[in-house]
Chains A and B, each alone.
Chain A
Amino acid sequence: MKKALAFLSLLVIFAALLLATHPDYGIKFGLSGKDWLKYRYTDQYYIEHGIEEVGGTNIVTDIVFDYRGYDTLGEATVLFTAIAGAIALLRPWRRDENE
């Protein structure tokens, strides 16, 4: 019963996502021309001004380390946390004090 319900709600979510990514109702794919400027104006800005504002010729690194450098700092922290968590959980068990 629970499983059937879970499966059913997965189907509903899947249908909703299909609707949201259908070009007639939701997100369009393969944008070009006017649509590009309408939906990807931020990307256009990075492409146009990236070199002069940041100085790197690689736009992805320009964005990841300059425009959105704080997110990269966050990602580094995620990695650090994951490592700290993994070694914290894989440490040897504490022994009983009277041992």
Chain B
Amino acid sequence: MTWLPFLIIIPLFGAFSMPIVSLLKGKAKEVWATIVSFATLMVGIQVFREVWSKGTLLYTLGARNPFGKADFPIRIVWEVDKFGAIMVLIITFVSFLAVLYSIEYMKHDTGLEKFYTLILILELGMLGIVITGDIFNFYVFLEIMSIASYALVAFRNDTWEAIEAGIKYMFVGSLASSFILLGVALLYGQYGTLTMGYLAVKMAENPTIVAKVALALFLGGLLFKSGASPVHMWLADAHPAAPSSISAMLSGLVIKAGGVYAMARIIFSVFWPALNPITVGWIIIFFACITLIVGNAMAVVQEDMKRLLAYSSVGQIGYILLGLGIGIVAYGTKIGEIALAGAIYHVVNHAIMKALLFLVAGAIIHEIGTRNLNELSGLAKTMPKTSFAFLIGAAAIVGMPPLNGFASKWLIYESSALFNPILGAIAIIGTAFCTAAYVRVLFTFFGRPREKVLNAKDPGISMLLPMLILVLAIIVMGLFPWQISDKFMIPAARGLWDVLGYVATLMGGG
């Protein structure tokens, strides 16, 4: 018995039953969403433990094995390797906290039954992406995730910025998705299968120009979804305009599940036999360097708190892409392994820290009603717990040693400096900008109180509790940086590199 199917069944059931549950008046929909996302978190933990004890999981939908009477897969499979399991865990964790946070944060809004339906579907879409082993199925779940996030970005339909950001995100996002669909169509036309592992087999036999064109389309679409510069503009509008619990999920999870994870999966598990690692790796490194500099530098000049956090997300995606790119170019070496492990580690860390920072920003907006940093001076006097949470989050994202951001950034610095000193220097410059941005915010918070913040107070327990859990996660993970890296991140990076193992798990049939 495997727990894996419940990862899809539970959020799907929760989302589809939400319109019925919300016929009950009162708090029924909030309670139901919390129960469903908590159950998903429990299943996520189980799936993580299962993958860690038994190795890569293979699950065929509708039959015992994916083959039937043929010697190639004819059914949709799920294949969860170690990286996938880490993503499952972090997605279910942050989603649960975001739902919990929404109970108090969203109580002044209307249309909440649609809100909770959409937030569960967003979680469902990301889980579908990270567990699937079928490339068309990946597209379907990418679309579920994207459509739910378009609607959630524009959820506050009485503000002009939400509608503007939603329209912008939807127009360019659909274009990026259609690139990916076009890539899937080309691959099917050339290789006649949609299973990721078997596509890799077919590509090893016959690497064609079609595969290269399809890879280019995939990379274009996925770089957009991950918010890499020069296509990061949707992100800087969408994250500030969305409700804060949604910004936490968008910034912590969506750009990683739909962008970075998908890119790593598609490069390593599908295209690896057909591509030239040096070219593809350096293309990703190139975009990573631009993203690092542009994202972090733009964060310094922002006046709007959530926009600052959004640009900082762009900057952090740059680090993750840098690690991924080096992991591709330096395949099979120690440097590449460290870089890829650092990228995976930073995916997890950034999801936690940025979720925390956006939840803090949400609490401040909820209490004071402004996002303008200049008006928030002296916040530490009236909202001490919230400001403390921000302090921890900011210190972690800059990479202060006792906190979790240090180890992942260190792995990326170390590997990039060993790989190419110029890349190391660029990474350091990015961090300098990042530090400047956050120190500026902290100075504002600890400054002389303005009258606007004098009447503020810390939010209620259901908003403070998710922040507290995230602060604890940051501190505890910060205490065991190298243990986590050796035990979880390096095996995950090796598992991602192990293309033959991925294919063998599929063809072994399970």
Contacts and interface: CB of A to CB of B under 8 A. Distances in A.
Contacts of A53: 68
B157 interface: yes
A69 B61 contact: yes
Contacts of A49: 68-69
B209 to A, nearest CB: 5
Contacts, number: 135
Nearest to B187: A27
Contact of A17 (B114, B157, B213): B213
A53 B68 CA distance: 9
Interface footprint category on B = 35 or more
Nearest to B132: A70
Secondary structure dominating the interface of B: helix
A31 to B, nearest CB: 10
Contact of A26 (B70, B108, B140, B210): B210
B62 A71 contact: no
Contacts of A17: 182, 213
A39 B192 CA distance: 5
A45 B111 contact: no
Contacts of B192: 38-43
Given A42-B192, A74-B140, A85 B68 contact: no
B256 to A, nearest CB: 20
B157 A89 contact: yes
A37 B429 CA distance: 55
A85 B145 CA distance: 12
Contacts of A88: 111, 114-115, 118, 151, 155, 157
Interface string B136-180: 110011011001101110110110000100100000000000000
A67 interface: yes
Interface in A71-97: 71, 73-75, 77-78, 80-82, 84-94, 97
Contact of A85 (B12, B69, B118, B216): B118
A17 B155 CA distance: 37
Contact of B140 (A16, A46, A75): A75
Interface of A: 16-17, 19-21, 25-27, 38-43, 45-46, 49, 53, 66-71, 73-75, 77-78, 80-82, 84-94, 97
29 contacts: A20-B209, A20-B213, A21-B189, A26-B213, A39-B191, A41-B72, A42-B74, A42-B192, A43-B192, A45-B68, A46-B74, A67-B74, A68-B136, A71-B137, A74-B128, A74-B143, A75-B140, A80-B16, A80-B121, A81-B118, A81-B148, A82-B147, A85-B118, A86-B151, A88-B114, A89-B163, A89-B166, A91-B114, A94-B110
